[in-house]
Amino acid sequence: MTAVLSVQNALIRFGGLVAVNDVSFDILKGDIFGLIGPNGAGKTTCFNLITGMYKPTSGEIVFNGKEITGLPPNKIAALGIGRTFQNIRLFSSLTVLENVMVGAHLRHKSSLSSAMIYLPGAIKETEKLQDEAWQLLEFMDLANFAHARSTDLSYGAQRRVEIARAMATQCDLILLDEPAAGMNPQEKNELLNVVLKIRNDFNKTVLLIEHDMRFVMNLCEKILVLDHGEEIARGVPSEIRNNPKVIEAYLGTAV
């Protein structure tokens, strides 16, 4: 099977600091791929490289057979990569429903002028997008909060709104940056099922960063471990769990 996303020898340098050093990995269609590592390992930087927030110093990133290295974020989103953020970035004064509707921006067919004159085409499209967003809200168990301001929601619910917004772009690959952070065990379990559903029912490929090892080990089929910007291990969860290098990176060496 061909890779949905292929990162080849990605390297980014901020002044003297090499944040991501020569990292390569392939994600196949339908994977749930975990990217783990201690704080400051370069995981989020990796995400930012893939989504075009940063431009890599060298290396290339190929998505669905098309090189996307250095493209602007909105182009990459248009090609089919959706993401959530580590520190939640919702459109805070908009309602939950409106937040998710923004995700459908790429699928606008009516022109801006028809919207400003308020023609039937634009109205019908808005209603269609609204219905689609509504279905996503029901899927993410957010329908009760649809008309609440997104900042008024609990932390866990806000994370779900972010996932729904990314899903609304109808992306092929969804990047989740610490989706379980700040959630209690029950919420984490629910999230785990949601991610599985995203993959199984919506046929999406998932790349996620997470610190909660139990969550990662239960969910991901493949894992890549980064430390100081470099790859230290990769494989299935059972291999990672017993890898001495990984244990060292997380816990340090015995003195």
Q: Which residues bind another protein (CB under 8 A)?
A: 51, 53, 72-74, 77-78, 82-83, 85, 89-95, 97-98, 101-106, 108, 110, 112, 115-118, 120, 122-127, 129-131, 134-135, 145-149, 152-155, 165-166, 168-169
Distance CA 182, CA 122 (A): 39
Distance CA 49, CA 4 (A): 16
Q: Whose Cβ is closer to another protein: residue 27's or residue 136's?
A: 136
Beta-strand pair 32-36/205-209:
parallel
Residue 158 parent element (H or E): helix 155-168
Least distance to another protein, CB of residue 117, Å: 7
Q: Whose Cβ is closer to another protein: residue 134's or residue 250's?
A: 134
Strand runs labelled E in 171-254: 173-177, 205-209, 222-227, 230-235
Least distance to another protein, CB of residue 199, Å: 21
Least distance to another protein, CB of residue 50, Å: 11
Least distance to another protein, CB of residue 9, Å: 24
Q: Whose Cβ is closer to another protein: residue 9's or residue 154's?
A: 154
Q: Whose Cβ is closer to another protein: residue 148's or residue 181's?
A: 148
- The pair of structure tokens assigned to 175 is 């990047």
Least distance to another protein, CB of residue 86, Å: 12
Residues 6+ apart with CB under 8 A from 137: 96, 97, 100, 143, 145, 146, 164
Judge contact between 25 and 197, C-beta under 8 A: no
The DSSP code for 152 is G
Q: Whose Cβ is closer to another protein: residue 49's or residue 223's?
A: 49
